[in-house]
Amino acid sequence: KFNFCAGPAALPEAVLLQAQQELLDWGGRGCSVMEVSHRSPEFVEVAERAEQDLRDLLSIPHSYRVLFLQGGATGQFSAVPWNLFGAGDGREKRVADYIHTGQWADKAIREARRYGQVNVVASSEDRNFTYAPAADSWQQSKDAAYFHYTPNETIGGVEFDYVPEVSCPLVADMSSNILSQPIPVEKFGMIYAGAQKNIGPSGIAVAIVRDDLLDRAMDGIPRSLSWKVAADAGSMDNTPPTFAWYLSGLVFQWLKEQGGVEAMAKLAGRKSALLYDFIDRSGFYSSPVEKGSRSRMNVPFVLADERLDKEFLQQAEEMGLLNLKGHRSVGGMRASLYNAVPLQAVEALVAFMADFEQRHG
Ligand code: PLP
């Protein structure tokens, strides 16, 4: 069976098998990784190795801190303004630029508005969030504390194929496309991602923060949202989600064995091209997203007659093609093609779609 869920999403089978093997007797200790102190040398080793592997995978420079946090990506929607709206010297700078590309950007914007002024520099709302706005028409604020965007909108299936050039710290919600390609980390001030797509299970989020941004928090920042507190404590100011951290570490090791993010980029290109090419050739299926902005991770598509949706989903399930239903807010279908989804899954999906079209088209 193949799992196309948008998140929590498929994890590499080899990782799940290893976790299963180690569940009751982790490395001969007679207990599971969930049952030891986060401060024990054996867990600290797991935590440090995970961080180092992530650093290696994304070539993260030494001037950046890697944090493993709770509260998901949604927690970071609040943490970003809390940590960056203070100037560090008592003078707050509560203005930020945001790009509005769909539901996740929207949530980030709404949260930031609770703490300061948000300048929406570009929006794709005019065409129902079906494209990534080009950089030429932006009016950046002169004094923004940071610039936020969502490189991949998981629900709309829209992905930026470029990194914005901005004059203040660039902040990115990479929840649904992190580790799917090399990224120039040094162009970013801060990157965050909920784990439950390309990193590991839900319950943990990764933040990559440039050192000099650790001192810009607003007065009164809740302790649990402070990047500085987390950085100073090695992400262990309080008990971290140890199992999620351990499993994420296994995923990082698996990614290295697969050839790293370069190999993932190639694979993502092949998988998504196979599906988009098929959709574009067909008169029965269509993609609502403009070419050039189509996500390599989340592929929404619609059938010519939506009355067939239910039958399509039912037969797909029977064929072992799971979780293809589109997000409740947009309908239609969505195939999520994260790193752990093999090429064979997309081949099987395309074969099924062709057969369904032949019977109903
Ligand atoms: N940002 C993006 C792009 C997402 O796809 C999601 C969905 O999981 C979130 C944020 C929210 O993440 P979380 O559920 O970890 O708060």
pLDDT in tens, 140-186: 998 899 999 999 999 999 999 999 999 999 999 999 999 999 999 99
My answer on whether 313 and 236 are in the same domain is no
Distance CA 255, CA 339 (A): 9
My answer on whether 220 and 275 are in the same domain is no
Whether 2 is in a domain gets the answer no
pLDDT of residue 24: 95
Gap from CA of 73 to ligand 1 centroid (Å):
5
pLDDT of residue 88: 61
356 within 8 A of 286, measured Cβ to Cβ: no
| Domain end position, chosen among 258, 277, 312 | 258
Atom of ligand 1 nearest to the CA of 153: 3
- The contacts of residue 50 (CB under 8 Å, 6+ apart) are 68, 245, 246, 248, 249, 252
Distance CA 103, CA 167 (A): 25
Whether 53 is in a domain gets the answer yes
| Domain end position, chosen among 258, 288, 303 | 258
My answer on whether 88 and 66 are in the same domain is yes
- 104 has binding-site annotation: yes
My answer on whether 293 and 326 are in the same domain is yes
Please work out whether the CB of residue 102 comes within 6 Å of at least one atom of ligand 1.
no
Mean pLDDT, the chain, integer: 96
Gap from CA of 357 to ligand 1 centroid (Å):
33
My answer on whether 23 and 118 are in the same domain is yes
Place of tokens 């991770």: 297
Which residue's alpha carbon is nearest to atom 4 within ligand 1?
Answer: 175
My answer on whether 216 and 352 are in the same domain is no
My answer on whether 270 and 349 are in the same domain is yes
Whether 288 is in a domain gets the answer yes
My answer on whether 28 and 148 are in the same domain is yes
My answer on whether 107 and 248 are in the same domain is yes
- 117 has binding-site annotation: no
My answer on whether 29 and 112 are in the same domain is yes
333 within 8 A of 302, measured Cβ to Cβ: yes
pLDDT of residue 89: 61
Distance CA 152, CA 194 (A): 13
My answer on whether 143 and 267 are in the same domain is no
Tally the domains of the chain: 2
Distance CA 119, CA 289 (A): 25
- 173 has binding-site annotation: yes
**What's the order of all strands across the beta sheet hosting 298-303?**
285-286, 298-303, 333-336
> Is 345 strand, coil or helix?
helix
Assigned token pair, 278? 């098929």
Of 26, 82, 104, 227, which residue is the catalytic one?
104
pLDDT of residue 80: 98
Whether 182 is in a domain gets the answer yes
Distance CA 132, CA 92 (A): 31
Please work out whether the CB of residue 73 comes within 6 Å of at least one atom of ligand 1.
yes
My answer on whether 274 and 152 are in the same domain is no
Distance CA 173, CA 188 (A): 11
Tell me which H or E stretch contains 82: helix 72-84
pLDDT of residue 92: 78
Place of tokens 């007797």: 25
Whether 3 is in a domain gets the answer no
ipTM score of the complex?
0.99
The parent domain of residue 273 ranges over 259-360
| Domain end position, chosen among 228, 258, 288 | 258
Of 197, 227, 271, 325, which residue is the catalytic one?
197
Whether 6 is in a domain gets the answer no
Please work out whether the CB of residue 124 comes within 6 Å of at least one atom of ligand 1.
no
pLDDT of residue 360: 94
Whether 10 is in a domain gets the answer no
CATH of the domain at 309: 3.90.1150.10
Q: Give the phi and the psi of residue 66 in degrees, each rounded to 5.
A: -110, 120
pLDDT of residue 328: 86
- Residues in the chain, pLDDT under 70: 88-90
pLDDT in tens, 238-257: 999 999 999 999 999 999 99
Instruction: Determine whether 266 is an active site residue.
Output: no
pLDDT of residue 218: 94
Whether 234 is in a domain gets the answer yes
pLDDT of residue 90: 62
